Structure 1
């Protein structure tokens, strides 16, 4: 009987020892081998990034304030037009008629003016002919302006809406791309060009007129153009809470076209921030969420959501942790909140 009891006690002790050993081995298996790096504080230049659209610096649809026939168009679409150059000539029948009338009224005015000096005519009669003459002069000037269309600024003739021999009227027409057109020709100033961006209200205090902006067009990704902010809208959109900002850029070769998509970046004054290696950031599969694993004093890890900031070489700025914190570089895919890790040398 005593032998049986002794055997049972030994069996229990052996089972307990084996169980303890297995648990110890399981704990050792749970420790994931990782490499780490330390977050550091670095001086950097914050950068504001925006998407934008190129627009003509100036654009105008030129027309006459009176209907008439188009006699001559002196330029073709795509031609450069200097400021003050004659672009279109309209029929001048009404001008000729007004000039003949003006000559007749001018003679009457000069004759009555001589009689007024001799006192042979009443002041009322003279004032009447004087008003008639001045109105005739104004009519001639008005018709002269409306028989010739000149360029108010230097630019490119981008479109012609009425051809030679056609009659121009005030009725707008529909273009092939379903846009309303009005006028005879369209003139654009393409050098300089302006880029329009939308700036969030929180970032408005950081930008000022004259700030340099780096612009890169998708059509020319290797070419960086330096422009300057020359206009900040004084009002914000009540829908987007953004302000329209215009950046003026040089376009001497005219390779950048209105309507082109571009990216604009504004470098702010230097400040200090915490950086970690970019490969410390782990993106949750199937989502846009990113986070890092921070190693605690007991060698467990904490998962911290982060938002990427500026890049300095292979380091990325994050604001969610302080400097001097250990972050996991390799082995991130095997980790979760509270996972025990074993730090190894790279």
Structure 2
């Protein structure tokens, strides 16, 4: 007797694709098929009545974030939950979440290399937007190329296929690291030669091209922003080349001394994390007809370690910085853009940064002081 699994497989093949949510008619097949499976519900959503944003509502997207315990996932989830509801945004990672993350909204274990489990999570939780943050960053990737290739490239292929199979809106960030020494550096436009020299950068160029290919060939709603260095007081440095611009604030307040692994004149594009989250949300909400491309630069400010240190000294006059350039990270930084041309993002969907260097420094020092004060009280 034919199994139910095989019957569904043949039914899907006969209809040449999946059913459209809106019209319930068979749609043209959009990409490669993988066998269907079932699993028990993996997330028990608890509805609350505290406010409209705390309930699951079909008018809002259902968002799934991979790599959610990295620098950006938790903060983005907080912003999205304010807009779409606490239970409509699901964080995931392969690490144990701290209590405050676990108590703030849905969290599940998800390994992006486990295709079957990832697909089950998407299907069982009726996901409509997939935000793929899982990646090994530049310096860590150079120390473990094999793992970076697996996570950054194989993981991408899994989310591309899952997004296509389930008609998701897929967001995957790219980076300044997607450019190389032969790219124009000041400013760097959206479209130019790239040819990066790190596995992180190579994987991000692969991300951009594969996403655009899936969009043009299959109609996948793929969206990608090239992030500059992101600066946040709420997360520890994660192994990126631009992370000196996070550690410097902690050291300035703790010891008034900092040793920088880049030269004092190394100029790189940077962005406050709140601008980064807002850009991501605005881009995800932008109507498709306004997007002239699928991968955009977004910019805010550019500065050197020396310029950042000088701005910090306006608040902490005794702050001292020494420079001990690390050959690997300095080489990476020297191949990256010095500033971004983000005129297409500004023109197409209205992007505009709010934080510049002065506001960035003031906010980072204030936020870290508050964290230390709260930690001392608790």
The TM-score normalised by the length of structure 2 is 0.18
- Which has the larger helix fraction? 2
Whichever of the two has the greater Rg, that structure is 1
- Which has the larger strand fraction? 1
The TM-score normalised by the length of structure 1 is 0.19
Using CA pairs under 8 Å that are at least 6 residues apart, name the structure with larger relative contact order, 1 or 2. 1
